[in-house]
């Protein structure tokens, strides 16, 4: 594992909870959005419904740009998340834009949203899998 890979995993762990509280930030993000269904609606309202649908489906994950992600999640939600972590939103958004598609992809292995409110344990499991896979799935496709 390279240095960049290690740093990205550490940052991802920090953004979504890291350590013994791994998944807390992801849980918070999901709860604030109203679960996966609510998150999907936010992306649809931002004109990114096709992008979100690609993460759920068995097809290739379409990319999302940091500014698109901010538009979908809301700048206040991103600022709140960044503040809780002690990070700048300009750092959080690029990482989230790379990893959120993989997280949603793994939460919907059957190509549909079966569980709109995944448990914290499920979110931790998915996040761990994304972190273990490293940056391999970062540049397109499914992990």
pLDDT in tens, 6-32: 445 555 555 554 443 435 667 777 888
Residues 33-50 have a mean pLDDT of 94
CATH among 1.10.10.690, 3.40.50.170, 1.10.150.650, 3.55.40.10 for 3-133: 1.10.10.690
**Terminal Cα distance for the chain, rounded:** 17
pLDDT of the residue at 53: 96
Q: Is the pLDDT confidence value at 101 over 90?
A: yes
Query: And the tokens for 75?
Result: 């700048």
Measure the CA–CA gap between 94 and 120, rounded to whole angstroms.
24
Over residues 87-99, the pLDDT tens digits come to: 788 888 888 888 8
pTM of the model: 0.77
Q: Is-contact 101 64, C-beta < 8 A?
A: yes
State the chain's mean pLDDT as an integer. 78
Domain boundaries of the chain, sorted by first residue? 3-133
């Amino acid at each position: 594992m390279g240095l960049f890979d290690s740093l990205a995993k550490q940052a991802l762990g920090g953004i979504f909870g890291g350590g013994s509280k791994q998944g807390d930030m992801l849980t918070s993000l999901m709860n604030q959005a109203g679960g996966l269904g609510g998150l999907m609606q936010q992306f649809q309202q931002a004109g990114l419904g096709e992008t979100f649908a690609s993460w759920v489906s068995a097809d290739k994950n379409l990319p999302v740009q940091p500014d698109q992600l901010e538009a979908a999640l809301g700048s206040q939600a991103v600022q709140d998340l960044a503040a809780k972590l002690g990070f700048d939103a300009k750092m959080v958004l690029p990482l989230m834009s790379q990893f959120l598609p993989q997280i949603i992809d793994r939460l919907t292995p059957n190509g549909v949203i079966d569980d709109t409110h995944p448990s914290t344990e499920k979110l931790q499991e998915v996040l761990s899998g994304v972190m273990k896979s490293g940056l391999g799935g970062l540049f397109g496709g499914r992990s």
